[in-house]
Amino acid sequence: MKRLRNPRTGIHQGDVTVFADFENGGAMWTGSGPRERRKKVRFDEAFASPPAVQLAISLWDMDTSVSIRAELVAENVTAKGFEIVFRTWADSRIARLRASWTAIGDLPFADDWDVQ
């Protein structure tokens, strides 16, 4: 995790393979209709509260003979991690997908009070 000069803000980044379905005939490559894959990501260090998470496709291997339909979102974001969710539908065929992510948020600080 990268700590900014302000010790209360952190930036954490990563790049993960979400799925690779080409060689094993998985549903993203051979299926049709609504399909979804999820990949859990855990932060090396927890944030103080759920951070803002931005996703981008860093590798997209797909069949271009049909329409390309896709959604890439971060869901279930907590201070400790989140899920990358990739969805496609109809006749789109995706062989593999890798996603890069950036999380920016508040970090725990020694002077914080835990008041409940």
pLDDT, one tens digit for every residue, the chain (116 residues): 666 677 788 999 999 999 999 988 999 999 999 999 999 999 999 999 999 999 999 999 999 999 999 999 999 999 999 999 999 999 999 999 999 999 999 998 777 666 66
Residue 66 forms beta bridges with which residues?
Answer: none
The arrangement of secondary structure in 9-105, i.e. its CATH architecture, is Sandwich (2.60)
> What's the pLDDT at 110?
72
Judge residue 72's burial from the number of C-beta atoms within 10 Å of its C-beta, 0-12 exposed, 13-18 middle, 19 or more buried. middle
DSSP string, 66-82: S----EEEEES--SSEE
pTM for the full predicted model: 0.88
